Amino acid sequence: MYFSKLFGKTLKEIPTEADSISHQLLVRAGMIQQVAAGVYAYMPLGWRTLRKIEQIIREEMDAAGGQELMMPSLQPLEIWEQSGRLSSFGKTMFTITDRKDHKLVLGPTHEEIITDLVRRYVQSYRDLPLLPYQMQNKFRDEPRPRGGLLRVREFIMKDLYSFDVDEKGLEMNYQRTVQAYKNIYSRCGLPAVMVEADSGAIGGKASHEFMLVTESGEDMIILCPKCGYAANTEKARSIKKKPASTKPLPLEEIATPGIKTIEEVARFVGIDKNNTLKAVFYVADGDIIFVTIRGDIEVNETKLKNILKCTDLHLAADAEVKAAGLVAGSASPIGLKNIKIIADESITTGGNFVAGANKPDTHLKNVNYPRDFTATIVADIATASAGDQCPGCDGILQSQNGIEVGHVFKLGTFLSERLGAYFLDSNGVSQPIIMGCYGIGVGRLLAAAVEQNHDEKGIIWPLPIAPYQVYLCGLRLEDATVSQTAETVYKGLIAKGIDVLFDDRIESPGIKFNDADLLGIPLRLTISPRALQNKSVEAKWRQEKQAQMLPLDGIIDAVEKMLTDKSKR
RNA sequence: CGGGGUGUAGCGCAGUGGCUAGCGCGCAUGGUUUGGGACCAUGAGGUCGGUGGUUCGAAUCCACUCACCCCGACCA
């Protein structure tokens, strides 16, 4: 490709809209362009990289036994009603009405469609297992798109689905896919970490996410440096420090004028936060819920949501709290009636807590569970945090931000039962097909690769996903010797099947070198009068400081060797 | 959905009631330059996000509205 003919321009200045590094660099490099909030066009350079990533994914999916297919983006609304996932997607679903007043959705994913296709095809256990996959646009009306390609409303996603006759088959396909994912990330230059994840309201037995650890990530992950335990905060378990155990003392009322928050209570009474009980009010599908947890711990809403099995959960608004007759700031589980109380397990460790008294400006001392109150449900609803002890060993947990670059689920039989995907087993008994699904956001992976691989000058593409492998830079192209040599080298490299971007512009060296760095093409070849005097060409890896001089004679083979050596490493 | 912010040339910005709306980058033409974003000259490019209002007069004041960004809520 001749740079002078390229559709797309580099920008010297950072676009105001761009906040994350990947967004800034991708826009400045002319690889993507925003069309609407969370909607982007891939310009030729960006599209080349995207296609290279797709190809890597495709190769790994095929190697794992996958079969690629194509499914529609337009999907009938009914199938989503049937699967019961219309409400779980809620407003995130783009819906449209056709001219016959028929409701359709722009598919946010394709589990429903693929299950329907499989249902029509599979009759016997002999038709299984199946591993279909697809890479295509999905649509989600996210409440807030952000970070350039990191969270968008229209995006290309690879989804692989597994259909098996038994748990053993599911487990095998799960493990094979996990391995394929690891291969994909390493080929894209991403050190992704596999973590335990929440599978959401959809259910399923197990779920893992692949995370790229980085500051700009919107997810929080918990890691144990000692045993390798890793989980999304939504899912993470931990062992909290236990307060010293004491003998239960008699309940005692204390006046606490103007004292509301846990910090204030602890300071006022002169105790640690872990000797207090916190009260938090939620509304779950319209019902007010009283949640109590030790004062030093935060409620994990994902865990709470899973326990309540509700689709909507939010913190109660002041009006909702008042209407339920609760006293914010001095609320207490003691003496409450006709209200669901969910307690965290932490209340069973420690005792003689200070809690609210359900009277303004009053708290209770020496509250003990279960002597003074009972809970409807006692469960783990605690947020694990850095500094807690690992649930699996005596290590101390750490927390990091991460970008989710892949998610695998063991779905089980939820969807196959809902949508009627059954098969006859070898005994002639009808069984629901056991499903798994495995997703990778391709555009997000591209953005993550930039977040991970850049410097102050620009992107540093890993060789396998660079839009071009070689940046051929001609200096003083009005010099016929230079331009003829550059042209010959360009043609020679192309003949070898090497992707070359030939900077044939009449520009100053500074502009060309800066653009080369910004675009992040792995290998830069410079052809200039100065180098040609010694019958040589300068070669420089983007990621290295030092350039080297190669003899012009045999330059094509030398470059080819450099590239193949590089890709072996 | 709540809070905050921004909309003026392709990009980044200045312009708080007064004449023909500016600057830098980029772009076009000519010339001088040429190994890390060169210089000179000339030039093209604007519904000042939109609608309505106030005023002799509005990019500027008021109301409504739209778009985009950030924080939160939310989010496979």
Query: What is the DSSP code string of A58-78?
Result: HHHHHHTT-EE----SEEEHH
Domain end: A379, A414, A435, which one?
Answer: A379
Tell me the pLDDT of chain A averaged across its residues: 91
Residue type at A496 in one-letter notation = K
Q: What is the DSSP letter of A522?
A: S
Instruction: Assess whether A44 and A183 both reside in one domain.
Output: yes
Instruction: Assess whether A372 and A404 both reside in one domain.
Output: no
Query: Is strand B less than 7 A from the beta carbon of A140?
Result: yes
> What is the phi-psi region of residue A326: left when phi exceeds 0, alpha when psi lies from -120 to 50, beta otherwise?
beta
Q: How far is CA A323 from CA A30, A51, A261, A331, in A?
A: 55, 56, 21, 14
Lookup: tokens for A137: 């646009």
Question: What's residue A77's pLDDT?
Answer: 95
Strand B contacts (CB < 7 A) among A residues 187-206?
199-202
Residue A493 domain-assigned? yes
Calculate the angstrom distance between C1' of B6 and CA of A37: 15
Domain of residue A346, CATH code = 3.90.960.10
Instruction: Assess whether A85 and A37 both reside in one domain.
Output: yes
User: In chain A, which stretches have pLDDT less than 70?
Assistant: 200-204
Residue A186 domain-assigned? yes
Q: Which nucleotides of B are covered by protein (CB under 7 A)?
A: 1, 6, 11-13, 24-26, 33-38, 67-76
Calculate the angstrom distance between C1' of B65 and CA of A362: 50
Cβ count within 10 A of residue A124: 12
Element (H, E) at A450: helix A442-452
Residues A502-524 have pLDDT tens digits of: 999 999 999 999 999 999 999 99
Question: What's residue A483's pLDDT?
Answer: 94
Residue A405 domain-assigned? yes
Instruction: Assess whether A335 and A420 both reside in one domain.
Output: no
Instruction: Assess whether A267 and A370 both reside in one domain.
Output: yes
Closest CA to A449 of A13, A12, A149, A145: A149
Cβ count within 10 A of residue A39: 13
Q: What is the DSSP letter of A403?
A: E
Lookup: tokens for A17: 């809209």
Instruction: Assess whether A127 and A54 both reside in one domain.
Output: yes
Query: Is strand B less than 7 A from the beta carbon of A475?
Result: yes
Report CA torsion sign: A143, A148, A151, A154: positive
Calculate the angstrom distance between C1' of B73 and CA of A501: 46
Calculate the angstrom distance between C1' of B42 and CA of A8: 28
Query: Is strand B less than 7 A from the beta carbon of A476?
Result: yes
Calculate the angstrom distance between C1' of B60 and CA of A37: 29
The nt closest to A35 (CA vs C1′) is B68
Of the CA atoms within 13 Å of residue A379, those in its CB half-sphere come to 16
Query: Is strand B less than 7 A from the beta carbon of A528?
Result: yes
Measure the CA–CA gap between A407 and A164, rounded to whole angstroms.
Answer: 19
Domain of residue A515, CATH code = 3.40.50.800
Instruction: Assess whether A311 and A354 both reside in one domain.
Output: yes
Instruction: Assess whether A56 and A138 both reside in one domain.
Output: yes
Peptide bond into A464 cis (omega under 30): no
Residues A52-91 have pLDDT tens digits of: 999 999 999 999 999 999 999 999 999 999 998 888 888 8
> In which residue are the tokens 């509301």 written?
A260
> In which residue are the tokens 């390609």 written?
A149
Calculate the angstrom distance between C1' of B10 and CA of A7: 14
Residue A352 domain-assigned? yes
Contact A195, A231 (CB under 8 A): yes
Residue A391 domain-assigned? no
Domain end: A450, A485, A513, which one?
Answer: A450
Instruction: Assess whether A141 and A15 both reside in one domain.
Output: yes
Domain end: A326, A348, A379, which one?
Answer: A379
Query: Is strand B less than 7 A from the beta carbon of A37?
Result: yes
Residue A247 domain-assigned? no
Q: Edge-to-edge, what's the strand order for the sheet holding A340-344?
A: A313-315, A277-284, A287-294, A340-344, A377-379
The nt closest to A538 (CA vs C1′) is B35
* Total number of domains constituting chain A: 3
Instruction: Assess whether A413 and A512 both reside in one domain.
Output: no
Q: Which domain holds residue A310?
A: 252-379
Question: What's residue A200's pLDDT?
Answer: 66
Instruction: Assess whether A440 and A505 both reside in one domain.
Output: no
Residue A366 domain-assigned? yes
Grouping H, G, I as helix, E, B as strand and the rest as coil, residue A391 is coil
Question: What's residue A176's pLDDT?
Answer: 97
Domain of residue A89, CATH code = 3.30.930.10
The nt closest to A305 (CA vs C1′) is B74
Instruction: Assess whether A442 and A472 both reside in one domain.
Output: no
Residue A390 domain-assigned? no
